[in-house]
Structure 1
Amino acid sequence: MTRRFVAVLLVMAAWVAGTVAGSLGGTPAAASSPGIAIGKAHADYTPSLTGSKPIVILAVGSGARPGDDVLHSLSDSLHLIFLNPDQQRATLVGIPRDSWVDIPGHGSNKINSALADGGPDLMVQTIETRFGVHIDYWAITTFWGFKDMIDKIGGLVVNVPFRMYDPPYSGVDLKAGVQRLSGDQALAMARDRHSLLAGDFGRQEDGGRLILAALAQFKKEFDADPASLFNWIGAGWTHMNTSLTIDDVMLLAYTATAQPGGGVQNIVLPGSSQTLGGTSAVALNDAAVSAIFNDVTPDGIVSKRNVPPSPTTNQPR
């Protein structure tokens, strides 16, 4: 991965992983409920953008509604994005939002409550503690930021893997195949779980598919016209709030020496629905999860033997 790719992926993460917030520097949006937000996970640490040690981004989709505190609401989607600068590869790890975990200082609960309980810092601490991973950046977005940014880039080209139809809940109504989605359609795809046999596990995988679609579209447009980078960044500018400076972002964006490679893994942590703490939650498969993080933490890549089956394998095509 290059520095430019890291910057772009921060933006992509900030507005894809199911409803996430990304950020760019400065204070383009002073609203109390920004559509996008990005920050360093550890203020005193700047990751290396070269070498084999992965750069790790936590992409969070906030379930906040307009007027809510975006940074202290239940999370709707969670992805860890591992970038290997040396091998130019990436791995997306979807974390089911109902995963039952220990939340430091708050006891055991579903992982999506960590953001509401203590904001991005507690969410980072919870994930680092549970999975033994060091996070470099976090990115959070909202429903309204997600929709508006996709519309501003002219829609998102996505290969929808199967028929998706769920008018009563997410509102999704998509046929299988490659198509350009509006902001509303992409949001419906990101939120759909009722039409999926795998429920939230499938929704996490679809969030990864949207991230991959955004990366593919950006690369295609950038190859044709490098100035398109500004279009993508500008699409979210009015929604953004961040602890990063614009200099930080532009440094990442303009010190690239090569395009990223094509190998990107999209996996979802396996588990099962159980009653935990008196509520329905996801008990993660500890053995499989440990194998995944033992693999991905050193170099950002999961070996084939430890890649779990796709949760949507049995979804009717």
Structure 2
Amino acid sequence: MLRRLVRLGAVALSLLVLAVVVPGSAVKSTEVALVKLDRADGVDVDPNLIWILAVGSDARPGQDMTRTRGDALQLIGMDTRTGAATAIGIPRDSWVPIRGHGYDKINAALFFGGPQLLGEAVGDLVGIQPDYVMVSRFKFFQAMVDDIGGITVRNPVAFSDPNLKPKGFGTGPIRLGGYDAMVYARIRYNLIRGDFDRSANQQRVLRGIQTRVRERAASPGFIDRGVLTAMQHLSTNLSPAELFRLAQAVAHVVPSKITTCVVQGSIGNVGGASVVLPFTAQARSYGDQARKDATIERC
């Protein structure tokens, strides 16, 4: 999954770089936000490890995407020394404590307190607080997939949705355009394991994006066009130097050193709403394994 975010990152983050560095770009973004989080005093942070929480926002037109419920949650780590990277998928309905708000679904943290609070909630669950949170709207994601010419994913189990995709997705390698990639990453109700399978599907889509961008990176003008697109849609509080550091870290990731896992849990009911009761020991195990070198030996 990280691969996917890697090239998507290589484009996305590089774009971010130019969006800030180019004088007079006057970026007014409502599509993608990259936010550096405040860290608690005394926290020992390894400068060689970078953690980014990638979030898909289900914000409606006119809504602030950084203050609505997050839809897709993937915690991505990169080790700039070794090129290793890992992604930890977190079901959006995970029932967890949110600082100052009691227990709620983890995606509600974005609504209550923006990227900062969501990053803290994820940190409390996994044991690793992200350095950055990247939030994007699904429409932007859809347009990006179309712009790179679509992607291919390997789908292990056929599934469908009566509203979003009545004919469904078959098994094996399947080609996805922007709309289908967005739907593939969002469907959960007809999946055998609901939120858990959806999180894994999101990782497959990201991997497909990374593969496609890698294939096209050498095409004349491809990266330039991606940069120009990002410049129109990015909002960030990072300095140009930090953006360059992130872009370099993304480009340094070695595909063979990427690992991915999804936090599991049991299904519960709170106030009539279905929730995921995450296996917190497992989530912490992933964090413990990945904390020093962005590598998870086993899920």
Change (3 A) 1:255 1:95: closer
> What is the aligned counterpart of 1:96 among 91, 95, 117?
91
Q: Does 1:42 align with 2:44?
A: no
> What is the aligned counterpart of 1:111 among 106, 113, 118?
106
> What is the aligned counterpart of 1:288 among 282, 289, 292?
282
Which structure carries more helix by proportion?
A: 2
1:31-110 paired onto structure 2 within 5 Å: 34-42=30-38, 53-110=48-105
Q: Does 1:137 align with 2:135?
A: no
How far did residue 148 of structure 1 move? 1.3
1:228-239 paired onto structure 2 within 5 Å: 228-239=222-233
What is the aligned partner in structure 2 of residue 167 from structure 1? 162
How far did residue 254 of structure 1 move? 6.1
Aligned partner letter, 2:115 = P
Distance 2:264 2:10 in 1: 27
Percent identity of paired positions between Structure 1 and Structure 2: 30
Paired residue secondary structure (2:28): coil
Output the aligned Cα RMSD: 3.1
What is the aligned partner in structure 2 of residue 152 from structure 1? 147
Aligned partner letter, 1:35 = E
Q: String of CA shifts for 1:135-157, please: whole Å, max 9, x gaps.
A: 11110111211111111222223
Distance 1:236 1:171 in 2: 33
Change (3 A) 1:114 1:37: same
How far did residue 264 of structure 1 move? 1.7
Q: Does 1:266 align with 2:255?
A: no
Change (3 A) 1:156 1:235: farther
Structure 1 gaps, min length 5: 15-21, 308-317
CA contact (8 A) 1:153 1:231 kept: no
TM-score by length of 1: 0.79
Deviates more, 1:99-108 or 1:241-250: 241-250
CA contact (8 A) 1:74 1:113 kept: yes
Aligned partner letter, 1:200 = D
> What is the aligned counterpart of 1:191 among 181, 186, 192?
186
Distance 2:265 2:212 in 1: 32
Structure 2 gaps, min length 5: none
CA contact (8 A) 1:30 1:241 kept: yes
